């Protein structure tokens, strides 16, 4: 399983360290999620994964921990990464900001977010992933946000069969993104926080 964990330092510093094989395991992140009572896990090698920022590609090390009692492993994923997604959260958040809140085209939104592999197909994939998770994300937000802060108008408008994918996606994304960034300085801060907490509480990825 993966544990999404807050690490100290800037994203670039953590990525550079992880590329050089330096991996941090913060206090508490090394506690066994499988055993009761819990115990500390021991380091158990690394695996490599690709991480893409707005202007660079990193091949980073992800620390793996082992529970010797059960033989199960835990990977420590920095909280600016999404499981099974190569682009870091600031890139993904910038895309959604441009596409759904600034009404830029798919292509322009990708170029706004990153110079690395800015394909429309990838943007479309992110949109489908987030919208597929919408019920889980809303259930999670309802459990963490004070009720009075969730406006009545949050319910997604019924999609019209005649409108295109872009129009229908924006209509659903706008209220969802407004809910997510409620109380945060930026969408990327909100994505990072909620991605980590959604994963901790419901073992689900944000997208």
Q: Is 111 in the site for Zn ion (CB under 5 A)?
A: no
Minimum distance, C-beta of residue 39 to Zn ion, in the bound complex (Å) = 6
C-beta closer to Zn ion: residue 32 or 61: 32
Minimum distance, C-beta of residue 120 to Zn ion, in the bound complex (Å) = 44
Q: Is 65 in the site for Zn ion (CB under 5 A)?
A: no
- Residue linked to tokens 């996606």: 169
H or E segment at 2? Answer: strand 2-5
DSSP at 76: E
H or E segment at 98? Answer: none
Mark residue 162 as left, alpha or beta (left: phi above 0; alpha: psi -120 to 50; beta: remaining): alpha
Q: Is 34 in the site for Zn ion (CB under 5 A)?
A: yes
Minimum distance, C-beta of residue 66 to Zn ion, in the bound complex (Å) = 9
How many residues in the chain? Answer: 207
Nearest to 80 by CA among 173, 170, 18, 137: 18
Q: Compose the 131-170 pattern: x for residues touching Zn ion by CB under 5 A, - for all others.
A: ----------------------------------------
Q: Is 67 in the site for Zn ion (CB under 5 A)?
A: yes
In sequence order, the 6+-apart residues with CB closer than 8 A to the CB of 15 are 51, 53, 58, 60, 88
Minimum distance, C-beta of residue 33 to Zn ion, in the bound complex (Å) = 8
**Residue 130, phi then psi, degrees to nearest 5:** -65, -40
Minimum distance, C-beta of residue 32 to Zn ion, in the bound complex (Å) = 3
Local structure of 135: helix, strand or coil: helix
C-beta closer to Zn ion: residue 67 or 89: 67
Binding test (CB under 5 A) with Zn ion, winner from 25, 35, 111, 136: 35
Q: Is 32 in the site for Zn ion (CB under 5 A)?
A: yes
C-beta closer to Zn ion: residue 37 or 158: 37
C-beta closer to Zn ion: residue 75 or 114: 75
Chain residues binding Zn ion by CB under 5 A are 32, 34-35, 67, 69
């Amino acid at each position: 399983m993966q544990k999404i964990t807050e690490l100290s330092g800037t994203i670039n510093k953590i990525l550079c360290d992880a590329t050089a094989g330096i991996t941090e395991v913060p206090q508490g992140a090394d506690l066994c999620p499988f055993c009761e009572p819990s115990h500390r896990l021991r380091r158990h090698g690394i695996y490599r994964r690709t991480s893409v920022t707005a202007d660079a590609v990193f091949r980073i090390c992800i620390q793996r921990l082992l529970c010797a009692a059960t033989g199960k492993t835990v990977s420590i994923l920095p909280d600016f990464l999404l499981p099974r997604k190569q682009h870091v959260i600031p890139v993904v958040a910038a895309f959604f900001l441009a596409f759904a809140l600034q009404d830029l085209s798919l292509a322009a939104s990708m170029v706004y977010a990153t110079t690395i592999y800015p394909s429309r197909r990838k943007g479309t994939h992110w949109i489908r992933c987030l919208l597929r998770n919408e019920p889980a994300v809303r259930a999670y937000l309802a459990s963490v946000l004070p009720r009075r802060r969730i406006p009545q108008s949050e319910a997604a408008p019924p999609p019209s069969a005649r409108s295109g994918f872009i129009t229908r996606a924006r209509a659903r994304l706008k209220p969802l993104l407004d809910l997510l960034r409620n109380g945060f300085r930026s969408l990327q801060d909100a994505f990072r926080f909620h991605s980590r907490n959604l994963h901790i509480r419901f073992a689900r990825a944000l997208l």
